[in-house]
Structure 1
Amino acid sequence: MATSTDLLAYIPSPPQGVWYVGPLALRAYALCIIAGIIVAIVWGDRRWVARGGEKGTVLDIAVWAVPFGLIGGRLYHVITDWSTYFGPGGVPVDALKVWQGGLGIWGAVALGGVGAWIGCRRRGIPLPAFADAIAPGIILAQAIGRLGNWFNQELYGRETTVPWGLEIYERTDSAGRVDTLDGVSNGVVQQVVHPTFLYELVWNLLIVVLLVVVDRRFKIGHGRLFALYVAGYCAGRFWIELMRSDHATHILGIRVNSFTSAIVFVCAVAYFVLAKKGREDPAALKPHQGSGQESGTALGSAPADAEDDESGQSDRIDGDQSAKEGEKK
């Protein structure tokens, strides 16, 4: 087993992934996820406004989409890696410990999409247009989230001797016991591996650039930009997944995430080809009259302008009657 001084050319892992402030644990994984969500909301809202929508819409819908997405991401991870939690030696309650890592992007997108659909219906705006606006922000958030895997020393690839190999340290707690998640590096390098987290991070950034360029040049809409994001991400995830060496569920001898990537890629490409061309009319991105937050009638009261119309009409009727009575006299 080599020491860190023997492998100075390699990429080092962070010495730890969690810091304690009294009883409060600050986890790099959680902080990266939160940072990614904030970036996606801020950038997504700017893109939504630029396409003709109202400012603040993305944050309103994120209130639905983010919780749904986190639950979906965790469910996908647990279902596709169930033996870790429910197999021999597994601890079922650990399935609830999201802070230990483990969020499946496809579950997050699927269930997060359900949350976004609910939010869009409440606002009276088209989901496909909303998805196109936030697509670059979502994959940028994924890139930021991958830094959390670096701090957790997880999701890495097979051993390698390439110059950009990643050092995986042995981490121990204050008593000297091995603690991969909450421990601190003791300087001993256990292995040097392919930094697949970095490969995916770089790939995601390339997809961000692709989406922005395509969107500006061709002005596509109706969910096609979101489909391009999904297809692009899946293409990269497929080959990156084949480089990983950690435990995973297999289907027909293929890692489940590669299997899922291939299926979702085909579906995304089909949608991109078959969906309506062009981009939505900006007027269609405004909240519809009758949506719960925009219409007074939906809240059980008549809109002010309707009351003015009724009042004006009443005044005209009274005026007409007075005029007729005057003629008779």
Structure 2
Amino acid sequence: MDFVLGALNPIALKFGPFEIRWYGVIIACGVILAAALSVKEGQKRGLKDDYFYDFLLWALPFSLIGARLYYVIFEWPYYLANPSEIYRIWDGGIAIYGSLIAAVLVLLVYCRHQQISSWLFLDVIAPNVILAQGIGRWGNFMNQEAHGRATSLNFLQNLHLPHFIIDQMNINGIYYQPTFLYESVWDVLGFVILILLRRKNHLFKQGEVFFGYVIWYSFGRFFVEGMRTDSLMLGPLRVSQWLSLVLFIGSILWLLHRRYWQPYAPWYLDGQQSFAKQDQEK
């Protein structure tokens, strides 16, 4: 058994031919933390713990499939010529937007089946998801991927970054923009803002915490994506920039529509009880 701990190496543990990579370890830590925080918040909003555990069991495999499909679709000419590589996710090629879209679709089906408010469920998990995304970007750091354009050592030093980050941004003798860090900081800041604001009484209707997450994340992702060099292109912009624009504008319009056309939508802090009450009234 070969231990590779304490070094900036993409491999965390190695058992003969089998490897456990830091990317997977970091992603798993983010998911576990997000699940634990969601369970804790769900208890306050009248949602059973099992709802989150059961949802996670369904969401994880479909999220992985969605992340891969998103990437394959926008690189279809290559995979059409090399179909045997479609399933080779260990060689790279997954997209967070594909994962999120798949998870939301699973959530809508799951909540309908369990007869719980999908808006409330989304509100509970949304801040924790963006926190997990912020943590997950450090997996990209370990892999020396999802970085920006080439830059200078002086530029990185002027950002007052720790030496281990600067050193890891040195790839084959060239320094690169740490876009993984920009997005990670943006995501964690979004998490803090969302959890602080959703405690305010009569501030968020159910569904609006989720829209806040989408607006915040898509706004930051648009600019960070523009700095990256490994993104999928679609015309003058990258695919994720186009999607960020659609989600940003769409979420604002949908939020305004619900606020002014559904004025009696329950407040977030009312929790699942308000959804059950509406069901009884029907």
Instruction: Name whichever structure is richer in helix by fraction.
Output: 2
Indicate which of 23, 29, 32 corresponds to 1:29: 23
The superposition leaves residues 136-185 of structure 1 with CA deviations (integer Å, 9 ceiling, x where unpaired) of 11111111111111111111001112114564456xxxxxxxxxxxxxxx
Q: Give the TM-score, by structure 1 length.
A: 0.70
User: Shift of the alpha carbon at 1:121?
Assistant: 2.1
User: Shift of the alpha carbon at 1:35?
Assistant: 1.6
In structure 2, give the amino acid aligned to 1:97.
R
1:238 to 2:222 alignment:
yes
1:14 to 2:8 alignment:
yes
1:150 to 2:137 alignment:
no
Distance 1:169 1:200 in 2: 19
Indicate which of 264, 273, 278 corresponds to 1:283: 273
Uncovered stretches (5+) of structure 2, i.e. residues with no partner: 1-6
Q: Give the TM-score, by structure 2 length.
A: 0.81
Q: Tell which structure's C-alpha radius of gyration is larger.
A: 1
Distance 1:197 1:126 in 2: 34
Asked whether the equivalents of residues 169 and 177 of structure 2 are also in contact (C-alpha less than 8 Å), the reply is no
Q: What's the Cα RMSD here? A: 2.5
1:107 to 2:79 alignment:
no
The superposition leaves residues 89-109 of structure 1 with CA deviations (integer Å, 9 ceiling, x where unpaired) of xx4333312234433222222
- Residue 207 of structure 1 corresponds to which residue in structure 2? 190
Distance 1:259 1:136 in 2: 23
Quickly say closer, same or farther: Cα 1:214–1:247, change in 2 above 3 A. closer
User: Shift of the alpha carbon at 1:229?
Assistant: 0.3
User: Shift of the alpha carbon at 1:211?
Assistant: 0.6
User: Shift of the alpha carbon at 1:86?
Assistant: 4.3
In structure 2, give the amino acid aligned to 1:196.
T
Aligned to 1:227, what secondary structure does the other structure show? Answer: helix
Aligned to 2:151, what secondary structure does the other structure show? Answer: coil
The superposition leaves residues 81-137 of structure 1 with CA deviations (integer Å, 9 ceiling, x where unpaired) of 3355446xxx43333122344332222222111111222122210111100000111
Aligned to 1:15, what secondary structure does the other structure show? Answer: coil
Matches within 5 A, 1:181-260: 189-218=172-201, 219-246=203-230, 248-251=232-235, 253-260=236-243
Q: How many residues align?
A: 255
Asked whether the equivalents of residues 30 and 132 of structure 2 are also in contact (C-alpha less than 8 Å), the reply is yes
Distance 1:281 1:151 in 2: 39
- Residue 300 of structure 1 corresponds to which residue in structure 2? none
The superposition leaves residues 177-209 of structure 1 with CA deviations (integer Å, 9 ceiling, x where unpaired) of xxxxxxxxxxxx431000001110000001001
